[in-house]
Structure 1
């Protein structure tokens, strides 16, 4: 099956906590890792959830894809910046407390909307 050549952005999540934004357009690819606080929050959330087996942890990764427009690198950077703004440490702490899932009182941010808000 041929690879999708339409420009797209892919957000990688562990449960509901974003980790990185990948941009792809044909053979052009860009990866933007979110700030270290996201990786730390994912590790803390996994501990909160009691996931001690690597396979349990790995099974919780997921991705969301959306079309990209314009410069793929700039689009990936912009979406990463939106996610970082939507997830200050206080919000990440709420996600950690629920084992990595969106807290019941918040709206889960989604890469499908351009106004990413928790």
Structure 2
């Protein structure tokens, strides 16, 4: 009686785990603003659980082009905690933990 329920349950758990890994690795990476350090620096966190570019980082917005979802350029002061963004990074600015990054372009998502 136990074998009839154990094997299908293990197969369901295994298939669900594989699907989770597959979906998480293929989804587009976005970042959430979790804290504003200064006017030109924000702390960001990735939405990916497996293999993120940066799990958490300090992002410099100075000289970055910031656009909203309509493609209009906006000021960095309009970004607030909880906003979802997509960023094009410059080469690493500071080797620290978490890393200090700069951005070429930041797109504010809906």
TM-score by length of 1: 0.27
Structure with max Cα Rg: 2
Q: Which has the higher strand share?
A: 2
Task: Answer 1 or 2: which has greater helix percent.
Answer: 1
Q: TM-score, normalised by structure 2?
A: 0.28
